[in-house]
Every structure is written in structure tokens, then in C-alpha cells.
């Protein structure tokens, strides 16, 4: 088989899931409205903290606002849950069919997860950029808006880091899938994944706000690559070689998690118990 033939099923599962997920327009619009609202609340709280002591802050209020809007735009990249389709397969027992496909199970689930997250993020992010990045400055709310990256270099590095973010998100989703396959129940992994991801990615609060002695540890752990690293690169908080280093770390974690996930999935699937009948 040529390389193109080997890759074809993975491209197909990506395209299929992507187009299917994109159909949920009402959900995307409702998500956009919700994210706008939470963005406003977070920004008002930031503004209140800054009003009393901006000197203590590790970044300017404008950067914190940009970080917040980016977070709201890309919120559904965060791997909070096992893939719902895989959850359904585990519940019904159809997961056994996954073993019959002449494809690499890990790559198959990875592509599904990636298509699912990208297709949900794309419409929400487009609406959010139009709202917070274009409409708000036009009506004179520029101080509260999503600012563009300060330099072309920051934009370019962010683009690279955003790819890492997509891959990392899919890798973690598959890890949650694996935890679910092993537990035969999605509730435990799902209830714990969201808060851990929210906190350690820097979605609750940018990691820079944590005590200084904690920051090196927080930046080095894998989940930082989901939010804190790409967004800090976007507004210029990480630039030059430190940005390149952070991207290297991000991709390093992607490779490590993919390798671990591949191994763990094979192991879990060999001991798979099928439910249903």
C-alpha cells in the first residue's frame, strides 16, 4: 500500500465527523452567546481586581482581556469529556467493532476527536472574533476588545502553537476515552477531567497569576499547552526563544501523550469486555 492509501481512511473519518458536527448550528450559536456572557463576567472581575492593584499583575489588563476572549472563543477545544460517540459505543458494546476495522485504533479515535473539536470550535471562534475582535472596537469598546497579535512574529508563532493545541486536545480526549474503556463508565473520567483541565490549562485563571514559585511547574506540565502557552504567545507574553521553547515543550508533550495513549489503548482493548447483546 502507498502512503496515500494508508492515510485515506483517517482522512475520511476526519472529514465525515467534521461535516456532521458542523451541522449543529443552533448549538454553536447558543454556545457563542453563552461564551460572550461569561467573557463579560470574567472581564468585569479582572477589571475590578486591576482597579485596586494593577502593579501586582503579571500582565496588563488589555492582555488579560485578550486572553479571556481567546479563551471563550476556543473554549470547546478543552478536552472535558470522553468522545460522546465512543462513550455510546462502550455503553452499547459496539466498541467491539472498532477491533475489526483494518486501521490503527488509536489513530482512528484521534482523528475522530480532532474533527469533533475543530468542527465545534470553528463556528464559535469565527463568531467570537467577529464580536469581540471586530464589532466591539467599531462601537467604541476597543479597550474591552480582543486585540490582534502585536507583531507578525507573534501571529506566526501563535499559528504554530495553535496546531499544537489542536493535537494536544485530541490526544487528551483519547486518554479520557481510554480511562472510560477501562472503567466501563464515562462518569468518573468525565467529572474529573473538566476541572483539572480548566485549572491546569490556565482557563480558570492565566497561569501567570499563580504564585511565582509555582509558575515553572505549571508551565512545564502538559495541559498548559492547551491554553496558557498559545494565548501567551498570541499577546506577546511569550516571545522569541522562550516562545520557541514553549512550543517545543508543547509538541514534546503531544508526542509523549500520543505514544503513551497508543500503548495504553492497545492494552485496554486487549482486555476489553463487551457489554450489551
Partner 1 sequence: MLNGLRLYGRYCAASLRAQMAYPGSLMMMISGQFLATAIEFIGVWAMFRRFGHIGAWTFGEVCLFYGLVSVTFSVADAISRGFDIFGSVFVRTGGFDRLLLRPRSPALQLMGYELRLTRIGRFTQGIGVFGIGVALSHFAVTPAAIAILLFAVAGGSALFTGLMVLQATLAFWTLESLEAVNILTYGGEAAAEYPLNVYADWFRKFLIWIVPVGCISYLPMLAAMGRADPLGTPSWFLPIAPIAGFLFLGVALFIWRFGVARYASSGS
- Residue numbers at the binding site for partner 1 (CB under 8 A): 27, 30, 33-34, 37-38, 40-41, 44-45, 47-53, 56-58, 187-188, 191-192, 194-196, 198-199, 204-205, 209-211
DSSP assignment letter at 208: G
Please give the distance of CA 64 from its chain centroid, rounded to a whole number: 19
Q: Supply the minimum distance, in Å, between the C-beta of residue 220 and partner 1.
A: 17
Task: Report residue 73 as a C-alpha cell.
Answer: 472563543
Closer Cβ to partner 1, 52 or 102, answer by number? 52
- What is the closest distance, in whole angstroms, from the C-beta atom of residue 102 to partner 1 in the complex? 37
Dihedral angle sign, alpha carbons of residues 219, 221, 222, 226: negative
CB nearer to partner 1: give 52 or 277.
Answer: 52
Closer CB to partner 1, 122 or 199, in the complex: 199
> With respect to partner 1, which residue has the nearer C-beta, 20 or 183?
183
Contact 99, 105 (CB under 8 A): yes
User: What is the four-CA torsion angle of 34, 114, 166, 99, rounded to 10 degrees?
Assistant: 130
Q: Smallest gap, in angstroms, from Cβ of residue 41 to partner 1?
A: 5
Least distance (Å) between residue 74 CB and partner 1 = 18
Shortest distance, position 156 Cβ to partner 1, whole Å:
31
- Pick between residue 40 and residue 129 the one whose CB is nearest to partner 1: 40
Q: Which residue has the cell 496588563?
A: 60
What one-character DSSP code corresponds to residue 134?
Answer: I
Using CA atoms, how far apart are residues 111 and 147, in angstroms rounded to an integer? 32
DSSP string, 65-96: HHHHHHHHHTGGGS--S--HHHHHHHHHTTHH
Q: How far is the CB of 158 from partner 1 (least distance, A)?
A: 24
Q: How far is CA 97 from the centre of its chain?
A: 28
C-beta closer to partner 1: residue 15 or 30: 30
Q: What's the rounded Cα separation, in Å, for the pair 98 and 33?
A: 37
Amino acid at each position: 500500500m502507498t502512503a496515500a492509501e494508508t492515510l485515506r481512511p483517517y482522512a475520511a473519518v476526519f472529514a465525515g465527523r467534521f461535516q456532521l458536527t458542523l451541522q449543529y448550528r443552533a448549538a454553536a450559536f447558543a454556545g457563542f452567546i453563552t461564551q460572550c456572557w461569561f467573557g463579560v463576567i470574567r472581564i468585569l472581575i479582572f477589571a475590578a481586581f486591576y482597579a485596586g492593584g494593577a502593579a501586582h499583575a503579571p500582565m496588563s489588563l488589555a492582555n488579560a482581556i485578550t486572553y479571556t476572549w481567546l479563551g471563550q472563543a476556543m473554549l470547546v477545544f478543552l478536552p472535558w469529556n470522553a468522545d460522546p460517540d465512543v462513550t455510546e459505543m462502550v455503553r452499547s458494546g459496539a466498541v467491539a467493532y472498532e477491533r475489526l476495522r483494518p486501521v490503527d485504533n488509536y489513530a482512528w479515535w484521534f482523528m475522530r476527536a480532532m474533527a469533533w473539536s475543530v468542527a465545534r470550535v470553528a463556528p464559535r471562534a469565527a463568531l467570537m472574533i467577529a464580536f469581540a475582535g471586530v464589532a466591539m472596537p467599531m462601537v467604541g469598546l476597543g479597550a474591552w476588545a480582543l486585540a490582534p497579535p502585536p507583531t507578525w512574529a507573534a501571529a506566526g508563532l501563535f499559528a504554530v502553537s495553535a496546531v499544537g493545541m489542536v493535537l494536544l486536545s485530541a490526544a487528551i480526549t483519547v486518554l479520557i476515552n481510554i480511562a472510560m474503556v477501562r472503567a466501563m463508565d464515562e462518569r468518573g473520567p468525565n467529572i474529573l477531567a473538566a476541572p483539572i483541565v480548566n485549572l491546569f490549562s490556565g482557563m480558570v485563571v492565566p497561569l501567570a497569576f499563580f504564585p511565582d514559585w509555582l509558575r515553572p511547574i505549571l508551565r512545564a506540565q502538559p495541559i498548559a499547552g492547551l491554553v496558557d502557552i498559545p494565548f501567551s504567545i498570541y499577546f506577546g507574553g511569550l516571545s522569541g526563544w522562550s516562545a520557541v521553547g514553549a512550543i517545543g515543550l508543547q509538541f514534546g508533550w503531544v508526542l509523549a501523550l500520543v505514544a503513551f495513549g497508543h500503548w495504553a489503548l492497545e492494552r485496554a482493548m486487549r482486555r476489553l469486555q463487551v457489554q450489551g447483546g
